[in-house]
Amino acid sequence: MKGKSRQINLLIGPLLFVLCTLLLPQSVFAEAASREAIGTIAWMAYWWVTGPIDYAVTAFLPIALNALFQMVDMSEVVANYASETVLLLLGASILTVTWEETGLDRRIAARLLGFIGDNFRQQLVFWFLLSAVLSAVLPNAVVCATITPIAVAMLKFVGEGDIEHSKIGSKLLLTIAYATGVGGLASPLGGAMNLVTVDYLQQVTGKEYIYVDWVIRFLPFMIVLVVSNIFVLTRDVDKGQNLGVSGVYFREQFSQMPPMSFEEKASLTMFLIATVLSFTRQFYQNLLPGLKPAYSFIICSILAFLITRKDGSRLIRWKNVQTKIIWELIYIFAGGLAAGTLVNESGAAEDLGNIVVSLGLNGGFVTVLVIVSLTVILSDITSNTATAAIAMPIVISIVQGLGLNPVPYIYIASIGVNLSYMLPTSIRAIPVGYGLSPKYMFRVGWKMTVMVIVLMTLLAYVCLRYWPAFSTV
């Protein structure tokens, strides 16, 4: 970015904060903290999209602005920078450093490329479906944090490792991030936001919620989401576009590699142990309640420092690892969480909900449109779980006030809670940490957001009107 343009963008960020603080109507946003929180989001979003300063630096704005304006308790803001998910990303980053140290990354890349093939469309479809399926039963952050470095290893192998300047690399990492969000809607196990929804469903019905009912009711939405997302992500990719080298070449490269060394096996084992422990949490959580996915990755990363090579040297040392950890990834993710904390704890999210309450909705098409739009947009500026916690009570109170059955509207709100595309918050910070430009994400994301809001509103309204089971548990 050239000097003058950079200076302008630097100034627009704080200007947006001032405008939000002074001009947002006090009749709606009564507390100054609420207006300041929205101003913080506007400032961060603008700087992330235009990039006049490093993305990780922008991620520290919630701390700086909260120190000046005391919007919320600072301890709640700072806690986001050492949250469980941040520790998970740190542990995963340390473990993937061992791949590069041992050459495991090249072996994995050659194997995957030989198996999937070099056709770029096929690659996008494969990674989308893999990420979506895993996210249906696993936390989105875990899936994105484990799948993304594997894809990055493959991209480096074919010379597309500079993600920021690689159209292929950018699109592939964006595909994985979007797919993990879409996949989370498929089952209640897709994330904590769905468990929040299940809890509200049980409260309003007084019945235990059966998880298979969720899968059935959201199946039509999943089909439309998967097809539409893949269509948009692949529509500008030529059928014959490939990664530059044939699949036969990659198979030959893999066959010519020597047998896996002890160091490679040890590196892979540590990563697999952490991943399997994360994926099978439900089987041992009563026995080891404290061993959450984040801590599994931290423990395995500690063990990686204890491994010695056959020549007696250590596999990895901190002075080497710290230069290869993607710190930007960690701080961008944390900054997004912190921004969400400001919106939630300052009362800004509740104020936005009150706007919806005041619209005089009647439960028809417009009500569905507003619910989907509000939850999708809120999920972009705060965490999916926080959006669920905020949106569900608002939706229930509106619908019950109209004397309507709240169940289908809770389902409708769940759709938006799981979907977000535009900003590098939540799991979308992960590809940005690996080099994806937030500007590119926003350029693709706003179109995806409009498409999803339109499609999900139409389908939800049809289900509400013509599918009786959609109104039951």
pLDDT mean across residues, the chain: 86
What's the CA gap between 415 and 409, in Å, rounded? 10
Token readout for 37 is: 């929180």
Residue with tokens 């196990």: 189
Worst-scoring range by mean pLDDT, 8-17, 32-41, 108-117, 204-213?
Answer: 108-117
Residue 88: partners with Cβ closer than 8 Å, 6 or more residues away? 141, 142, 145, 293, 294, 297, 298
Model confidence band, residue 159 (pLDDT cutoffs 50, 70, 90): confident
Overall average pLDDT of the 215-236 stretch: 94
Instruction: Please tell me the predicted confidence (pLDDT) of residue 226.
Output: 96
Overall average pLDDT of the 413-441 stretch: 88
What's the CA gap between 104 and 98, in Å, rounded? 8
Model confidence band, residue 251 (pLDDT cutoffs 50, 70, 90): confident
Where are the strands (E) in 135-285, listed by range?
none
Model confidence band, residue 361 (pLDDT cutoffs 50, 70, 90): confident
Q: Quick one: CA torsion of 57, 61, 64, 67, rounded to 10 degrees? A: -160
- Per-position b or e across 145-174, b if 16+ CB within 10 A of its CB: bbbbbbbbbbbbbbebeebeebebbbbbbb
Residue 324 confidence (pLDDT) above 90: no
Overall average pLDDT of the 367-396 stretch: 83
Residue 90: partners with Cβ closer than 8 Å, 6 or more residues away? 297, 298, 301, 325, 330
Residue 246 confidence (pLDDT) above 70: no
Instruction: Please tell me the predicted confidence (pLDDT) of residue 72.
Output: 94
Instruction: Please tell me the predicted confidence (pLDDT) of residue 328.
Output: 80
Cα separations in angstroms, 366 against 351, 397, 433: 20, 17, 38
What's the CA gap between 331 and 405, in Å, rounded? 42
Q: What is the pTM of this model?
A: 0.78
Instruction: Please tell me the predicted confidence (pLDDT) of residue 2.
Output: 64
Residue 433 confidence (pLDDT) above 70: yes
Residue 224 confidence (pLDDT) above 90: yes
Instruction: Please tell me the predicted confidence (pLDDT) of residue 223.
Output: 95
Residue 406: partners with Cβ closer than 8 Å, 6 or more residues away? 204, 395, 396, 399, 400
- 237 sits in which H/E element: none
Residue 329 confidence (pLDDT) above 80: no
Instruction: Please tell me the predicted confidence (pLDDT) of residue 278.
Output: 77
- Nearest residue to 424 via CA among 358, 351, 331, 298: 331
Instruction: Please tell me the predicted confidence (pLDDT) of residue 252.
Output: 77
What's the CA gap between 98 and 96, in Å, rounded? 5
Query: Do 152 and 174 meet the contact criterion of CB atoms below 8 Å apart?
Result: no
**Would you tell me how many other CB atoms lie within 10 Å of the CB of residue 10?**
16
- Nearest residue to 65 via CA among 14, 130, 115: 14
Model confidence band, residue 456 (pLDDT cutoffs 50, 70, 90): very high
CA atoms within 13 A on the CB side of 306: 6
> Residue 243: helix, strand or coil by DSSP?
coil
Instruction: Please tell me the predicted confidence (pLDDT) of residue 247.
Output: 65
Model confidence band, residue 326 (pLDDT cutoffs 50, 70, 90): confident
Cα separations in angstroms, 60 against 41, 88, 96, 432: 12, 20, 26, 16
Overall average pLDDT of the 417-445 stretch: 88
Q: Quick one: CA torsion of 321, 325, 331, 334, rounded to 10 degrees? A: -90
Q: Tell me the range of 15-19, 103-107, 254-258, 279-283 where mean pLDDT is highest.
A: 15-19
Instruction: Please tell me the predicted confidence (pLDDT) of residue 222.
Output: 95
Residue % of the chain over a pLDDT of 70: 98
Residue 1 confidence (pLDDT) above 60: no
Cα separations in angstroms, 462 against 17, 134, 182, 317, 368: 40, 29, 20, 58, 10
Q: Which residues pair with 308 in a beta bridge?
A: 314
Instruction: Please tell me the predicted confidence (pLDDT) of residue 249.
Output: 67
Residue % of the chain over a pLDDT of 90: 32
Instruction: Please tell me the predicted confidence (pLDDT) of residue 242.
Output: 79
Query: Do 247 and 118 meet the contact criterion of CB atoms below 8 Å apart?
Result: yes
Model confidence band, residue 229 (pLDDT cutoffs 50, 70, 90): very high
Overall average pLDDT of the 259-271 stretch: 89
Q: Tell me the range of 41-50, 102-111, 274-283 where mean pLDDT is highest.
A: 41-50
Put residue 245 in one of left, alpha, beta given phi > 0 → left and psi -120 to 50 → alpha. beta
Cα separations in angstroms, 65 against 147, 156, 194, 342, 354: 34, 38, 32, 10, 25
